[in-house]
């Protein structure tokens, strides 16, 4: 199994279905995915007060668009909706694996071990850069039926959850890249601009 975002993005073929959503989507994503430079990506998201059919429908559309874009995660702000909703599927090659739908996610604890891996983002297509993050997390959230849940995650899943949760706070993975030279090179290659990056303290 690929152990970083870029390998997954380049390898993603997707097959099968979870919750009757086919992982093999063809054509363009049904929802517009906003790109680096769009102000909507820099806004803070609001908690979802009621988990109802409209939220479940939105999550399904997000999954369809994520699979069509060959991604492993998508946050509602990336489609212009400032709600605390994430969809994730790091097991896209397994047709029986259920995707994660995380509503109002909160990280309750971070592991002490840090790891650096290459990340990418559907909002910054073609750009892949190393980011340092905790390798394990504890998480609480609500599922698509509104039920409270808790889970532990490590490795790629923990990284993906942290990456997508950043979107809920208007943070993009390029903001966490410590090598300015590598960052500028990758952004320029794909036609993005350094001025749209907001560096944050990654310590």
Catalytic annotation, pick one of 119, 144, 164, 186: 164
Which tokens belong to 121? 């983002």
Domain ranges of the chain: 5-196
Report residue 68's pLDDT band, with 50, 70 and 90 as the boundaries: very high
Q: Verify whether residue 84 is a known catalytic residue.
A: no
Closest CA to 2 of 117, 161, 152: 117
The architecture CATH gives domain 5-196? Alpha-Beta Complex (3.90)
Torsion, CA 188, CA 191, CA 196, CA 201, rounded to 10 = -40
The answer to which of 23-32, 116-125, 191-200 has the lowest mean pLDDT is 23-32
Distance between CA atoms of 106 and 162, rounded to whole angstroms? 10
Neighbours of 100 (CB within 10 A): 26
Distance between CA atoms of 164 and 172, rounded to whole angstroms? 9
What SS3 class is residue 159?
Answer: helix
Q: What is the mean pLDDT of residues 47-73?
A: 96
For the segment 166-186, what is each residue's pLDDT rounded down to a tens digit? 999 999 999 999 999 999 999
pTM for this one?
A: 0.88
CA 193 remoteness from chain centre:
21
């Amino acid at each position: 199994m690929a152990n970083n975002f870029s390998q997954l993005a380049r390898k993603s073929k997707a097959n099968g279905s979870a919750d009757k959503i086919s992982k093999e989507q063809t054509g363009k994503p049904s929802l517009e995915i906003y790109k680096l430079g769009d102000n909507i990506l820099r806004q803070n998201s609001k908690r979802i007060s009621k988990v109802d059919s409209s939220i479940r429908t939105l999550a399904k559309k997000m999954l369809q668009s994520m699979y069509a874009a060959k991604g492993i995660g998508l946050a509602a702000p990336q489609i212009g909706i400032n709600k605390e909703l994430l969809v994730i599927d790091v097991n896209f090659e397994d047709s029986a694996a259920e995707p994660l739908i995380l509503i109002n996610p909160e990280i309750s604890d971070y592991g002490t071990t840090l790891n650096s891996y290459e990340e990418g983002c559907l909002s910054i297509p073609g750009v892949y850069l190393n980011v340092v993050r905790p390798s394990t997390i504890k998480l609480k959230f609500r599922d698509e039926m509104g039920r409270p849940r808790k889970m532990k995650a490590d490795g790629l899943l923990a990284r993906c959850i942290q990456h997508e949760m950043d979107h809920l706070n208007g943070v993009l993975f390029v903001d966490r890249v410590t090598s300015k030279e590598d960052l500028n090179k990758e952004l320029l290659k794909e036609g993005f601009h350094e001025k749209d990056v907001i560096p944050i303290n990654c310590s």
